Chain A
C-alpha cells in the first residue's frame, strides 16, 4: 500500500467578499511509496506551496482526499491535528524556522517535548541522528552562532527525531550556498537510504536530481513525472533540465 495517496485534490481560493475565484490546484493525483524519495518541481505560482500545505494538514482541499497510511487527513479532528502532524510528519523549511531562544539541542527536542516524552528517551534518540548529520559538536550552540548549513541540518534533525512516516521538505536548499546545499542533499540521500520517506518541494535542479522520482507541476496539475531508474545524478540533472525547458516553452501533457 502507498504511504501517501493524493486523490483528485482540488483547491480553490475565494476572495474575501465572494467575487474572484482562483484555482490553485485543479486535479492532483499521485502517491508515494514507503522509503521513496520524491521531488516536486514547478514554477512560482504553480501550486507547490498549496499542495505542500494540504499534505501537511495545514490547509484543507476544496475537494479530493489525501490519505496518509490509509488514513484520511480530512477526518483527523481539529484538536488532534497538531499531535497528528507531530507524530507522523517531519518538516524542513527553507528558512530553517529554528527558535533563537533555544540551543540547537532544545530546538531538536521541541516536538518531543510537546509530545510529553521523557528526557532520557529524547537523549537516546538524539545521539544517532546527530551523528548522521554531523552536528554532535554543535548541540549546545544557539542558532545565531552557527552557519546556515548547520542550522538546516539541525532543522533536519528536528524533523527526524519524531521518527515520522514522511518528511516534507519545502525548498530545503533555498537559503543555502551551493556547498552547503550539496552537503545537505548528501545527508538527505543518506537518510533516505536508511529507510526514511522524503517528499521535497524544490526549485533547484541540482537538488531535485538526488531524488528517485520527480513530479512536475504546472497550472495546478501534475504535468509530468521522471523516474531515476539506473541513471546517475548527472544524467538525472540533464533530464530534469530538458523537461523544464519543455515545460516552460509550453509542452504537451503526458509522457
Chain B
C-alpha cells in the first residue's frame, strides 16, 4: 500500500518534469546502446585482427568513462532544477526518508526504462554497426553475429552502478539542504565576479605560446616532441581565458559607456558577466571536447580515405625486396625468385628498379655533413638529413645515362621541392667533394615537400667509397648500440605487378615467403599485403573516430541544451522585469537569441580557431604516418567542422525557441 504511493508519486513526478526527463532518458538510452554495441563488437570472435580488437576495447573503456561523467553531469542539472519541488514535499510534511524512497523509486523507473530500451536498441543496432565495421575494414568474413550475453551483463552492471551513484548523489544533496534552502533552489543572489587579471594574462600567454609553437614548428620530428606541450598549454590557456579573459573583456566593454549603454548590449553584457562565472568551466570543457572530436574525426577520416596515398608514399612500387648484405650470387637468386613466381602466377612484372645504396643519418651544418649519433636524432635536431649514397654505375643504369665522375666529385639530388641549392663543394665527415651537378630530378623520388626528415641522394664514384662512410657510421654508432650489425651497401629491387588483384596478391605473398626462406638478411613487402593490415588499423581508427565522435557531439550538444534550459528558468524573472519596464517582445527575442548564440557558438568558434592554428602541425604529424595529402586533410577538416556546425545550428534553433517559451 505504502509502496504504491511512492510509485505513483514517482511516476507523476517524472511526468511533470518530462521537459527535462525525456531528454535525460533519451540520452541514457543512447549511452547504454553505444556501450553495449562497442562492448559486443570488441568481444565478437570473428574479429581476428588483434589491433582491431585492441582499438575496440580501448574505445569501450572511453565510453565507460564518458558515460559516468556524462550521466552524472546531466543528473546534477535535473536535481538542481527539482530542489524547489522536493523542498515543497518536505514542508508539506514528507520526511527526508520518504523523499529518499520517492527518489529511489524514480531512479529505479528511470534506470529500468533507460537500460532495457538501451540494450534492446543496442542488440538491434549492433548488427548494423557490425556490418559497417566489416565494410570499413574490408573484411570478407562470414556473417557470424550473435547477441553477446557477456556484454548484456556488463552493461547491466555498469549502468546499474552509474544510476546507483546518481541516486546517492541526489540523496546527499537533499540531505545537506534545509527545506527553506530547497525552496529557494538555485536562486541565490550572487555578487558580480571580480576580474582576475593575472589569470587572464596567463591565459593569453599560454594560448599564445601554444599557437606560436604550432605555427613555427617546421620539422615533423620536432613537432612530435612539442605537440604535446603545445596542446597542454592551449588547454590550460583555454580554461584561463574562458574563466578570466571573458570576464575581463566584458568588464572592459562595460567601462566603455558609449558601447555599454546601448539597448543591444546593455542586458547582454551585464548578463554575460554573471553567466561566464558559472559557465566558464563548462564552456571550456565543451570547447576542448569539440576540438578533440574535430581533430579525431578529421584525421581518422583523412587517414582512411588517404590510405592509397599513404601506401604509395610508403611503397613507391607495389613490391620491394631489400638485401642487407648482398653479393652478386644472392642478387641473382632474388631476381630469379621474382621472375619464377611472376611466371607461375601468370601475371607480369613492370617498371622494375634495382640499385645499391648505403644510408646514413647525418647532421648538416651549412655545406658539411657529419654522421648523426643517437643524441642528435632523439633531441629532434632539425638539421638531420637522410643521406642515400648510390654508386654511379647504378645511377647511370636507372637514368639511362652515361656520366663519368672524377675522383673527389659527386652528383647531388635533394627531393625537397622548396630547398635551396647547395654550394659547389660539400664536406662529408671532413672529406671535401666537388658537386659536379645538382640534379633537377631523379627517378627514385619525385620532388616533393612532404618528407618527414630531409634527405639527400649522393651519387658517388663507386661502392668502396660508400662503404667507407658506412664503416665510419658503424664505428660511431656501435659505442651506444653494441648489438648493431655491420652496415653494408644494400641491394634493393622494386617493381609493379600487372594482372588480376587476386593473382597479384598471391604472387606477392609467394615472393615474400620465398625471399624470407631463401635469402638471409633480407626484407620484402608489398602494398597489397600491407593494405590488409592498413585497413585493419586505419579502418579501426576510422570506425572508432566516427563512433566516439558522434557520442561526444551528442554529449556536447545536450549539455549546452540543458545549460540553456536551466538558465532560461533562472532568467525568466529577469526578462519579466524588463518587459514590465518597457522591453518589447521583439527585443526580448533578440536578446535571447544573441545570448544563446554566444553560449552555443563561442566554444565552437574557439575550437575552430584552435584547429585552424593546429592545422599545420597536424599535417606534419600526419606526415610521420606517411599521410602527406594536405589538401585531402584540409577538405576532411572543413567538412567535419561544417557537419558539426550544422548539428549545432539545429540544436541552437530548438534551444532558442524553448528558452523563449520558458522566459516569455
Binding site for B on A (CB under 8 A): 58, 79, 81-83, 85-86, 91, 93, 97-102, 106, 109-111, 113-116, 119, 122, 142, 144, 158
Contact = CB atoms under 8 A, between A and B. Distances in A.
Contact of A100 (B190, B266, B586): B190
Contact of A99 (B263, B273, B578): B578
Given A82-B587, A142-B191, A144-B191, A116 B582 contact: no
Contacts of A85: 582
Nearest to A93: B580
B584 A119 contact: no
Count chain A CB atoms within 10 A of each CB in B191, B270, B582, B583 and give the residue with the most: B582
A82 B584 contact: yes
B365 interface: no
A115 B577 CA distance: 16
Nearest to B574: A99
B192 interface: yes
Nearest to A85: B582
A101 B584 contact: no
Interface in B256-286: 257-258, 261-263, 266, 270-271, 273-274
B194 to A, nearest CB: 13
A85 to B, nearest CB: 5
B581 A97 contact: yes
A212 to B, nearest CB: 26
20 contacts: A79-B584, A82-B579, A82-B582, A82-B584, A93-B580, A97-B581, A99-B270, A99-B574, A100-B190, A101-B192, A101-B274, A102-B270, A110-B266, A111-B582, A113-B263, A114-B582, A114-B587, A115-B582, A142-B191, A142-B192
Given A91-B581, A93-B580, 9 more contacts: A82-B579, A82-B583, A82-B585, A86-B581, A101-B273, A110-B578, A113-B262, A114-B583, A142-B191
A81 B583 CA distance: 9
B588 to A, nearest CB: 9
Given A119-B258, A142-B191, A111 B271 contact: no
Please name the 9 residue pairs, one residue from A and one from B, whose CB atoms are nearest each other, closest first.
Answer: A86-B582, A82-B584, A144-B189, A97-B577, A101-B270, A119-B257, A113-B266, A119-B261, A114-B263
A116 B262 contact: yes
Contacts of B578: 99, 110
B646 to A, nearest CB: 33
Contacts of B574: 99-101
Contacts of B261: 109, 113, 119, 122
B390 to A, nearest CB: 74
Nearest to B258: A119
Contact of A81 (B189, B258, B270, B584): B584
For the residues of B in contact with A, the DSSP-based class is helix
Contacts of B580: 58, 91, 93, 97
B271 A101 contact: yes
Interface in B184-205: 189-192
Interface string B234-266: 000000000000000000000001100111001
A115 B270 CA distance: 18
Contacts of B583: 82, 114
A159 to B, nearest CB: 9
Contacts of B274: 101
Given A93-B580, A100-B190, A142-B192, A79 B586 contact: yes
B581 A114 contact: yes
Nearest to A56: B580
Contacts of B587: 82, 114
Contacts of B581: 86, 91, 97, 110-111, 114, 158
A238 to B, nearest CB: 35
A58 B583 CA distance: 12
Contacts of B586: 79
Contacts of B262: 113, 116
B571 to A, nearest CB: 10
A68 to B, nearest CB: 15
Interface in B576-624: 577-587
A8 to B, nearest CB: 27
Nearest to A88: B582
A97 B258 CA distance: 26
Given A79-B586, A113-B261, A99 B577 contact: yes
A53 to B, nearest CB: 10
Nearest to B254: A106
Nearest to B274: A101
A196 to B, nearest CB: 18
A119 B263 CA distance: 12
The listed residue with most B CB atoms (<10 A of its CB), out of A85, A115, A158, is A85
Which one of B191, B578, B584, B587 has the greatest number of beta carbons of chain A within 10 Å? B584
B184 to A, nearest CB: 14
Contacts of B577: 97-99
A94 B6 CA distance: 40
Contacts of A101: 192, 270-271, 273-274, 574
Contacts of B584: 79, 81-83
A109 B585 CA distance: 19
A116 to B, nearest CB: 6
Contacts of A119: 257-258, 261
Nearest to A81: B584
A119 B189 CA distance: 28
Contacts of A109: 261
Contacts of B266: 106, 110, 113-114
Contacts of A122: 261
B189 A100 contact: yes
Nearest to A114: B263
A144 B266 CA distance: 20
Contacts of A144: 189, 191
Nearest to A162: B582
B582 A83 contact: yes
A134 to B, nearest CB: 22
A184 to B, nearest CB: 19
Contact of B263 (A58, A91, A102, A116): A116
Nearest to A145: B191
A86 B261 CA distance: 16
Contacts of A79: 584, 586
A88 to B, nearest CB: 10
Nearest to A143: B189
Interface string B39-59: 000000000000000000000
A114 B268 CA distance: 13
